[in-house]
Amino acid sequence: MIKLLFKTTLFTLLLCLVTLLSKAQIGYDYAQYDIGFGGGISRVYGDAETAKNTPYGLVNFTYNHTPYVNYIVEAQGGILEGGSGATLSGRYFRNVYKAITFRGQLQAGEFINYSGSRVFNALKNIYASAGFGYIINDIRSINRTSFVLPDYTTPGEIDAHELFLPVKLGYEFKVFNRYDEPSFKVDIGAQYNYDFGDNLDGFDAGLSKDKFIQYNITLKFAIGGVTSYRKKIAY
């Protein structure tokens, strides 16, 4: 009888301890890995005289060192286009590109105290991100000859492979499950990309390098590796 009472008491204490620890983690746990799918528009600022908005798609994988410190590998593909044969230079291009980037990302929640303020709680998901990228250009259509200036042409490469610097600012809306873990995210951002080459548009002209700006939205899904953070994530 005493042994049975001891075992029952021990079991009850262990059950209470497990329950207490489980409840203590509500709001602190998060998944270390996300997979995301999205798209947006790109706009090239290079040697063509006019710029156009063009579409692209992306898929990315995120390692969450914390809920607010993230490392992202992203693959994207789409169209870059600009210029017109009617301009003074006559430059026009259409680039069907592929690219891969790696970025480190820091969200405001990592260093601000958001527990006692609705304003700071809303601001905690603002982020800045930067890294490096590699783009494979495949220019399918190009015009190098001016119809206005006689004998004026612009040289360049149509299949250049180049490195670029991506810098991104954005906001990540977090959707929490019943355990207050961020299981789904909507990432809205603007990204500036500085090309270290000058053939993003197929033209090698001028003193400045090519660059392109992207606006995108990405849906991200938590896929596992649950661990704990030092402070509560959901408020």
Summarize pLDDT for 100-151 with one digit per residue, the tens. Answer: 999 999 999 999 999 989 999 999 999 999 999 999 999 999 999 999 998 8
Q: With 0-12 CB in 10 A as exposed, 13-18 as middle and 19+ as buried, what is 42?
A: buried
With bands split at pLDDT 50, 70 and 90, how would you rate the model's confidence at 207? Answer: confident
As a whole number, the mean pLDDT across the chain is 90
Is pLDDT above 50 for 41? yes
Residues 214 and 194: their CA atoms lie apart, in Å, by 11
Residue with more model confidence, 75 or 10: 75
Is pLDDT above 90 for 47? yes
SS3 labels along 115-147:
CCCHHHHHHCCEEEEEEEEEEECCEEEEECECC
The CATH number, out of the four listed (3.90.340.10, 2.40.160.20, 3.30.565.10, 1.10.287.950), of the domain defined by the range 2-227? 2.40.160.20
Phi, psi angle pair for 73, to nearest 5°: -105, 125
When pLDDT is averaged across residues 68-86 and rounded to a whole number, the result is 97
Q: What is the pLDDT of residue 20?
A: 38
- The alpha carbons of the chain give a radius of gyration, in whole angstroms, of 25
Is pLDDT above 80 for 225? yes
When pLDDT is averaged across residues 25-30 and rounded to a whole number, the result is 82
Lowest mean pLDDT among 54-58, 124-128, 161-165, 221-225: 221-225
Residues 10 and 59: their CA atoms lie apart, in Å, by 50
CA torsion through residues 24, 28, 31, 32, sign: negative
Residue with more model confidence, 22 or 66: 66
Q: What is the pLDDT of residue 159?
A: 95
Distance of CA 234 to the CA centre of its chain: 22
With bands split at pLDDT 50, 70 and 90, how would you rate the model's confidence at 15? Answer: very low
Give the residue among 90, 201, 206 at the shortest CA–CA distance from 143: 90
- pTM for the whole thing? 0.86
Q: What is the pLDDT of residue 116?
A: 83
Residues 40 and 134: their CA atoms lie apart, in Å, by 19
Residue with more model confidence, 27 or 130: 130
Would you kindly state where each structural domain of the chain is located, as residue ranges?
A: 2-227
When pLDDT is averaged across residues 84-99 and rounded to a whole number, the result is 95
With bands split at pLDDT 50, 70 and 90, how would you rate the model's confidence at 25? Answer: low
What percent of the chain is helix, strand and coil (3-state, nearest 5)? 15, 55, 30
